[in-house]
Structure 1
Amino acid sequence: MRKFIKRGRMTILGNRGAVMQRSNETNGKRIFRTQGQREPRPGAALQARRWLQTFPFRNRLPKTDRRVGVWGKWTTVGLAAMATSVICGANSALAIDYVVYSPLVVRGEKEVEYRSYYNLDNRPEINGQQGYRLAVGAGLTDFWYSDIYGNFTKGYGDGLKAQGVEWENRFQLAPQGKYWLDMGFLSEIEYRFQANAPYEVSVGPLLEKQIGGTVTTLNLLLEKTFGNNANSGVEFEYKARLRYLLKRALSPAVEAYGSPGYIGRFVPVEAQRHQIGPALYGTMRTGPSQVFSYSGAALFGLTKASPDLTLVLRMEYEFY
């Protein structure tokens, strides 16, 4: 995310998850900020990192302290939201969330978001699978961001169906740059519309580190179902992204998503879902305090259980 800060006013450009910072000591300076699903083929991430690092780091993210607002009454509300997410919870196999979350939260940001994916595969039961997510969200405090999602899917032999609703909360655990690693926490609850479908909760840490012109983000999530037809185990899922801060309009990245199965009883590798592929990110200012953000990815399956190719599209309209 890039933002231009001047004394008394500021313009913000970027994706959700970027940090809003007010400073009267950076008059006229430009500060670059970045925003805020399975195991890659050995060496792929390292090769991508080395390739990106051959480019000059034209934009560097200085480590600056961000003013942390008073938690006040919002602390109790935020912790209650986290606790509720841990207790309650529902994704289906189709409703895969192809997004890597940054731990950074922007106070006062409001957004309307669209996300979708489309599977291409030789197997008819996988080819043409689609998923869509529509959301509204807001940065309620300096450390708490909350979203409400509507999920829609289209499976083999089915039309487009409303899958369920989801409440998502992200918590930033410390000001950006205070520690070597920026850390956050994600909690999600989903309620499915299908009869006798279980609830599901997803929780886990959000980690991010910037080195020069590259930003590495990692999500490590645990998923558990409750209620009717619930599974007995806890499923592990990871999401990762390596992004190079090239230009505001177009920044290249590599994304990886995967799940080896339930903790303590991982399935054989070929039965696991692992995908990796290139991605592009960009932002466009549409007003003094309005930003249109977009990103897309082409994810290639690394195992037999993964789709051959998944096309991902994400769009956000953000205002302050």
Structure 2
Amino acid sequence: MLVNKSAFQAGALLCLFLMTAAHAGPDEYVRTPTIEYGEQEIDTKVGVQRNRDGRSEAAYSIGYGFTPTPWWFTELYAKYAKPAGESTSFDAWEWENRFQLTETGKYPVDVGFLLEVERPQNHAEGYELTYGPMFQTLWNNYQANFNVLFQRHVHASEVFDTELHYQVQVKRLGNTEKLEWGVQAFGNVGQWDNWRSSSEQEFKIGPALFGKIKTGTKQAIRWNTAILAGTNHATPNTTLRLQMEYEF
């Protein structure tokens, strides 16, 4: 049975909001499956969260990324963290790789795959791997993204569960990219094959803004920011996150 494109996209968008649960660091951001070949970028991310006990913590990162091929984006960045009541210190190196698996706009849903390798400063944690599919679709004037990500540690001194995370973003597309608005959400259901109860799953959601400032013929500053509210006691009360990319 054939399903027309509009019905498929409407169903996909609805499914994004039917998901429940969550986890993400304060500087976490929504990955996208599409790649612009030939583009390089310097990327900074900042996040601050207010925990349920009233204490705050923050995370920061800076990285450099480029596109070796039309279907592969790779970035290496340094991560810093400021735990509650402590000073800022180096936290980890992370190598991000995004692979575009379908031609942009050729199918109702664009598909990609994410593979991240993180080496924490605390080597007892081994290596943290994050991997999974990324999906993007257009429906009228809206762009929707949905990512399903598995996270596990290898070569660690103790056993870590393989967790299932997800990311959701819906953006209202404007006539230009100067300023757009939408919604972002981040979740973690816990162990991938043994989900926590809904009250113990982390989930945060809130309004987001997106913008692009052209600084030259092929240069631009692209940014997005969101204020996220935790929906239960397993999630930080409030998170403010910002990502800025200098593209050239």
Q: Select 1:225's aligned residue among 134, 153, 157.
A: 153
CA RMSD, aligned part only? 2.0
**Per-residue displacement from partner, 1:13-48 (whole Å, max 9, x unpaired)?**
xxxxxxxxxxxxxxxxxxxxxxxxxxxxx99948xx
Q: Distance in 1 between matches of 2:35 and 2:234?
A: 35
The change in CA–CA distance for 1:99 and 1:232 in structure 2 (over 3 A counts) is closer
Q: Distance in 2 between matches of 1:205 and 1:97?
A: 20
Q: Distance in 1 between matches of 2:172 and 2:217?
A: 26
Aligned to 1:168: 96
Aligned to 2:181: 252
1:268 matches 2:188: no
* Structure 1 residue 197 displacement after superposition: 2.1
Please, which runs of 5 or more residues in structure 2 have no aligned partner? 1-13
The 5 A counterparts of 1:7-156 are 45=17, 95=25, 97-124=27-54, 127-156=55-84
Q: Which one-letter code corresponds to 1:168 in the other structure?
A: E
Q: Which one-letter code corresponds to 1:244 in the other structure?
A: R
TM-score, normalised by the number of residues in structure 1: 0.68
Partner SS for 2:209: strand
User: Percent identity at matched positions?
Assistant: 30
* Structure 1 residue 198 displacement after superposition: 2.1
* Structure 1 residue 271 displacement after superposition: 2.0
* Structure 1 residue 141 displacement after superposition: 1.0
Q: Distance in 2 between matches of 1:267 and 1:45?
A: 19
TM-score, normalised by the number of residues in structure 2: 0.87
Aligned to 1:183: 111
The change in CA–CA distance for 1:122 and 1:234 in structure 2 (over 3 A counts) is closer
Q: Which one-letter code corresponds to 1:136 in the other structure?
A: Y
* Structure 1 residue 298 displacement after superposition: 0.2
Aligned to 1:196: 124
Partner SS for 1:270: helix
Q: Distance in 1 between matches of 2:64 and 2:216?
A: 19
Instruction: Please tell me whether the aligned partners of residues 24 and 186 of structure 2 are also in contact (alpha carbons under 8 angstroms).
Output: no
Please, which runs of 5 or more residues in structure 1 have no aligned partner? 1-41, 47-92
Instruction: Please tell me whether the aligned partners of residues 94 and 129 of structure 1 are also in contact (alpha carbons under 8 angstroms).
Output: no
Q: Select 1:311's aligned residue among 232, 240, 246.
A: 240
Instruction: Please tell me whether the aligned partners of residues 94 and 153 of structure 1 are also in contact (alpha carbons under 8 angstroms).
Output: no
The change in CA–CA distance for 1:122 and 1:196 in structure 2 (over 3 A counts) is closer
Structure showing greater radius of gyration is 1
Partner SS for 1:266: coil
Aligned to 1:281: 210
* Structure 1 residue 158 displacement after superposition: 1.4
Q: Distance in 2 between matches of 1:259 and 1:99?
A: 14
